[in-house]
Amino acid sequence: MSTNLILSFFLWQLSLLAAGPCCRTLSSASGGRWDVLKSNVGVSAMHMQLLSNDRVVIFDRTDIGKSQIFLPGDKCRVDPKDPVLRTDCTAHSVEYDVVANTIRPLMVLTNVWCSSGAVAPDGHLIQTGGYGDGDHVVRVFRPCDGCDWEEIQSGLTQRRWYATNHILPDGRVIIIGGRRQFNYEFYPKSGPGAATQSYKLPFLWATNDPMIENNLYPFVFLNVDGNLFIFANNRSILFDYLNGAVVKTFPEIPGGDPRCYPSTGSAVLLPLKNLQAQATEAEVLVCGGAPKGSFTSAKNGRFIGALNTCGRIKISDPTPQWVMETMPLARVMGDMLLLPNGNVLIINGGSAGTAGFEYGRNPVFNPVIYQPDKEIGYRFEIQNPSTIPRMYHSTAVLLRDGRILVGGSNPHNGYNFTGVLFPTDLSLEAFSPTYLDSSSLNLRPKIILPASQVKFGYGKWVAVRFTVTGKLNENRVAVTMVAPSFNTHSFSMNQRLLVLRGGTLKPVGRSSYEFWVMTPDSGNLAPSGYYLLYVIHQEIPSEVPDASFRAKLRFPMSLCFGLPLLGGQVLACVALAERERELFVLALSVLEAVLILSAN
């Protein structure tokens, strides 16, 4: 069995389309820029996922009455058991077209409140669980024009509410935990009895605080050895999910304060480097949360200050230990996102209280950038503030052009716009880090792709050509790939960034360069799914202009990259799977690149 990675490039010269103004500038300075994209998208963004067609699926719960956007035509959701509205002709999910800055209403039938998700190798969003009639449901959303939610009743063995999903190297999704669910299961189901099979996970029992929990939406990351790192409450394990065995128990995070829902902090797997080394290092960063007792205090009207600490641990070390750091701003319900250059953005949330209805206080308007490669004491940079509180049920995802899409905030049991401390928010805004400043334009790379097909395998050298109009610093060029994440409740599921091994870098023309990089070796490093591919120069990722054109192609593949390329937005797809798959690729622009990795 041989595995080949086929880099296919298709170039179309299209007439240029002028992009109209789409946003209102709020603030701009050295610490990033905020833009309001849409003042009202009809629903509050409790969950978000960027898909391969450069559109973001957004959805909220269904049992809160009318939203502010109607379903098309005569569509209505009829549910005799809905506690608020049995016939509902409004949408509780929308699709946001990033380039066109438009919204399309979608129809979700069952309740997706506090659910989870992951993108499958074929590009479909697999969304699981929720509340009430939705707690056993699997929903599928395909990234295609006019597509809508498809629902699989009883697709799950156990009810899943506040669970965490992770894509696995074999293409399955593992669903872990949820309220009063101390177990895990897989989707899709396969094998005798699989449809009714779930597996006990005693670690979730051990980390459950009675009447509080503090172990919902556990932080889960695929380690480089193929096992899962699972963090719940204040403890963590390395788990062999194939054999149901705990491989390692990590030390409790210093201080012992809870970091998971409802004492909600956030976490990321820091960028993976040295991918061809005998032992690739993996490191997890956990930030924020609420001190012990905060949830009970908040229920009684007393709001304790959030945690201002981060813990960092090398989960691949034989004897790992936590290293603690202090953030410049305390934060609960914050989101942590990997930026294309390997830095971490900490955004949203408050500085007192906990997650839960009406339990958070003191919005933190300023994002913070964490630079993991700097020395302790020099890693945090406070960014320019937004003007919109993003409290409980806020979300944030990385877009293909390097901006951060931010939405949501509804700390109420329903939509409430008046007479409350933090009204329900239906807007979308974008945060642009400083690497998108116009002053960096001459340092920003643009990728040039050859017009012919190139074949190579896992662990093979790949030539990437790009231009930089300014002076190139050859010692500060890298290529990264980022897995877009499913974001809800301050955790970005399936988020992953890899720094590809670099080799020869040489000029090939005026302001043009060729850089050889090596692809990942296995699905343990890069499991099947969609990735964004960037050339980084002096921490500035490749430029993606505003104009966009679309084409539709059919290829066998299972992993896609978004590539900024030669004055247009480009989708590049790579399959890192055990078998060939087929996927329609959308959202191509002036140039379109498709990388295909298949097993023959």
Select from 234, 262, 302, 270 the least CA-distant residue to 480.
270
Quick one: pLDDT at residue 298?
A: 98
In this prediction, residues 379-388 reach a mean pLDDT of 97
Q: How far apart are CA 91 and CA 105, in angstroms?
A: 6
Q: How far apart are CA 221 and CA 234, in angstroms?
A: 16
Angle in degrees, CA 275, 187, 132, rounded to 5: 125
pLDDT at 26 over 60: no
pLDDT at 443 over 60: yes
Report the SS3 class of residue 203.
helix
Peptide bond into 262 cis (omega under 30): yes
Q: How far apart are CA 500 and CA 509, in angstroms?
A: 24
pLDDT at 581 over 70: no
The string of DSSP codes covering 484-496 is --EEETTEEET-E
pLDDT at 316 over 60: yes
Confidence of residue 284 (pLDDT cuts 50, 70, 90): very high
Amino acid at the residue 373: D
Quick one: pLDDT at residue 461?
A: 84
Q: How far apart are CA 331 and CA 396, in angstroms?
A: 15
In this prediction, residues 575-592 reach a mean pLDDT of 30
Quick one: pLDDT at residue 299?
A: 97
Please enumerate in sequence order all residues whose Cβ is within 8 A of that of 146, keeping only pairs 6 or more positions apart, or say none.
none
In this prediction, residues 319-338 reach a mean pLDDT of 98
Amino acid at the residue 234: N
Quick one: pLDDT at residue 194?
A: 79
Q: Cα-flanking dihedrals φ and ψ of residue 139, to 5°? A: -120, 145
Quick one: pLDDT at residue 30?
A: 55
Contact 118, 168 (CB under 8 A): no
Confidence of residue 584 (pLDDT cuts 50, 70, 90): very low
Report the SS3 class of residue 133.
helix
From 7-16, 97-106, 235-244, 589-598, the region with the lowest mean pLDDT: 7-16
Confidence of residue 530 (pLDDT cuts 50, 70, 90): confident
Select from 311, 221, 299, 192 the least CA-distant residue to 257.
311
pLDDT at 545 over 50: no
pLDDT at 514 over 50: yes
Q: How far apart are CA 116 and CA 176, in angstroms?
A: 10
Pairing of strands 531-537, 560-565: parallel
Quick one: pLDDT at residue 195?
A: 79
CA atoms within 13 A on the CB side of 208: 14
pLDDT at 567 over 70: no
Contact 165, 47 (CB under 8 A): no
How far is C-alpha 71 from the geometric centre of its chain's CA atoms? Answer: 27
Angle in degrees, CA 49, 87, 417, rounded to 5: 60
Peptide bond into 218 cis (omega under 30): no
Tokens representing 523 are 């699905």
Confidence of residue 122 (pLDDT cuts 50, 70, 90): confident
In this prediction, residues 306-327 reach a mean pLDDT of 98
pLDDT tens per residue across span 333-344 = 999 999 999 999
Q: How far apart are CA 209 and CA 72, in angstroms?
A: 45
In this prediction, residues 230-258 reach a mean pLDDT of 98
Distances (CA, A) of 389 to 35, 53, 317, 349, 426: 14, 29, 39, 8, 12
Confidence of residue 57 (pLDDT cuts 50, 70, 90): very high
pLDDT at 591 over 80: no
In this prediction, residues 454-476 reach a mean pLDDT of 81
Quick one: pLDDT at residue 573?
A: 35
Q: How far apart are CA 312 and CA 324, in angstroms?
A: 6
Quick one: pLDDT at residue 527?
A: 86
pLDDT at 196 over 90: no
Confidence of residue 548 (pLDDT cuts 50, 70, 90): very low
Amino acid at the residue 163: A
Amino acid at the residue 170: D
pLDDT tens per residue across span 219-230 = 999 999 999 999
Contact 295, 262 (CB under 8 A): yes
pLDDT at 8 over 50: no
Quick one: pLDDT at residue 528?
A: 77
Q: How far apart are CA 493 and CA 490, in angstroms?
A: 10
pLDDT at 459 over 80: no
pLDDT at 28 over 70: no
Quick one: pLDDT at residue 596?
A: 28
pLDDT tens per residue across span 393-407 = 999 999 999 999 999
Adjacent-strand bridge partners of 397: 405
Peptide bond into 527 cis (omega under 30): no
Share of the chain above pLDDT 70, in %: 84
Amino acid at the residue 69: I
Adjacent-strand bridge partners of 125: 119, 141
pLDDT tens per residue across span 42-55 = 999 999 999 989 99
Contact 567, 587 (CB under 8 A): no
DSSP 253: P
Mean pLDDT of the chain: 85
